[in-house]
Amino acid sequence: MTENVQHPNAEARNAQEATPLRRSAAKDLSLINVVPKWGGAENASPIEEFFDIIEGTARIGNWTEADQIQVCALRLTDSAWEFYRATPELKDPTIKWEDFKAHFTQIFRDVLTSQFHFTELQQARQRKNESPRQFPDRCRILAQRTVPCVTDATLQ
């Protein structure tokens, strides 16, 4: 006769494992350093990537829209900082994150045409120093730049 002997904390451990991970309700502004500085230069990463980093970090750190705007402003440099300083509506405390992003996207959008990006995608070859895992990622980014992202179903 064998008995099922369980560790005294087994029930608690099983309940803990079954519970999905929960985010802390506390705001974590120490993650600001995860967000890179962005200046808007031609060789800088696209503004959309900068905003994606801010939004992802904001989800992890439980930031509000106002926090996202403040972090964005703190991480701006060069011409992007000058644009922020010269645009009073961006400092309005009631501005929404989407409106804030729209102002920057309008000024710092990619000036290269979709045709240019399509040609880049079409002629893409794996670079010497590029790993087999990096090449498809680069192609995916080129493809995203080729097809403009719109939310309106009729424009798609």
Chain segment 21-63, per-residue pLDDT in tens: 445 578 888 888 989 999 888 777 888 889 999 999 999 999 9
Query: What residue ranges do the domains of the chain occupy?
Result: 29-108, 114-146
Say whether pLDDT at 155 is over 80.
no
What pLDDT score was predicted for residue 21? 47
CB neighbours of 40 closer than 8 A, spacing ≥ 6?
A: 47, 76, 78, 79, 80, 83, 107, 108
* Closest to 72 in 3D by CA, of 110, 104, 94, 106: 104
DSSP-based helix, strand, coil % in the chain, nearest 5: 55, 0, 40
What's the mean pLDDT in 61-88?
A: 93
Chain segment 116-130, per-residue pLDDT in tens: 667 777 888 888 898
Q: Is the pTM of this model over 0.85?
A: no
